[in-house]
Amino acid sequence: MINVKIIEQMPYTTEYWNQSIQENLLHQTLGIAVGNSVYWIEMNDMAEEREHQVEGLSIRTKTVRIDHHISLLNFNIYNELSTSKEIKVLIAHSNPREYDQHFSFISPIEQLIYHMIDRQLFLVNGQLNGVKMKENTVMQRALVDNNKIWSYGKGGKQTLSYNPIGKGKVVSLCGDTAKITGKSAMEGTAWSITDDCQKQLLQVNQTLLKKHTSISN
């Protein structure tokens, strides 16, 4: 059975959640799966760089807000060991205002995750080492909290269990598997964009993809 562990940055209060609510932003959480454990790293104050230690990995995170419309989560993962380690990097987006109407889905054409909270539309995406994250899913929060998020293929290959749509207390997940060699690093970025116009969301997403990855879709 896979263990779920929460790494709380101190001081960790309701300030970040209140700030997300006031700025009408989604809550972002970075997850690292190593072997039989999943570590969820809660973000704290914006624009503060933090460092975390997870099973020989040194992880630095920084959140940035841009014009109350874009939230970026930048992260760097350094393997302090001399041996390689296979990990899965996860990005969770959720609604801090749980009393609001919340609907999330994966667009079958664009393969992008959207959140609709009341009448506010969000697009979320992410990249790891310059490549768009390959796995997307939408799940009820209870499944995420109890780590019931995995499917297993041939040879026990672990992937996110695919679910394209959810309503209520749901969490969207982007993820990818990576092998990080000893004494080396990888980096990534996740983003949440909000706008009244879907066309504008797609344009901003395309701009971020071009900036952070080697692909354009």
> pLDDT, tens digit, for every residue of 58-99?
999 998 888 889 999 999 999 999 999 999 999 999 998 876
Chain-wide mean pLDDT for the chain?
86
Q: Give a yes or no: residue 177 inside a domain.
A: yes
Q: Tell me the residue range of the domain where 21 lies.
A: 3-212
Contact 202, 208 (CB under 8 A): no
Distance between CA atoms of residues 37 and 4, nearest Å: 6
Q: Give a yes or no: residue 122 inside a domain.
A: yes
pTM of the entire predicted model: 0.87
Q: Give a yes or no: residue 57 inside a domain.
A: yes
Q: Give a yes or no: residue 217 inside a domain.
A: no
Question: Residue 162: pLDDT above 80?
Answer: yes
Contact 4, 40 (CB under 8 A): yes
Q: DSSP letter at 14?
A: S
Can you give the pLDDT at residue 21?
Answer: 47
Distance between CA atoms of residues 72 and 188, nearest Å: 10
Tokens 């995170």 sit on residue: 61
Distance between CA atoms of residues 181 and 20, nearest Å: 36
Q: Give a yes or no: residue 94 inside a domain.
A: yes
Provide the token pair at 9: 């940055």
Q: In the chain, how many domains are there?
A: 1
Q: Give a yes or no: residue 70 inside a domain.
A: yes
Q: Give a yes or no: residue 186 inside a domain.
A: yes
* Domain CATH code at residue 37: 2.70.98.40
Q: Give a yes or no: residue 113 inside a domain.
A: yes
Using left for φ > 0, alpha for ψ between -120 and 50, and beta otherwise, residue 6 falls in beta
* Arithmetic mean of pLDDT, 97-105: 84
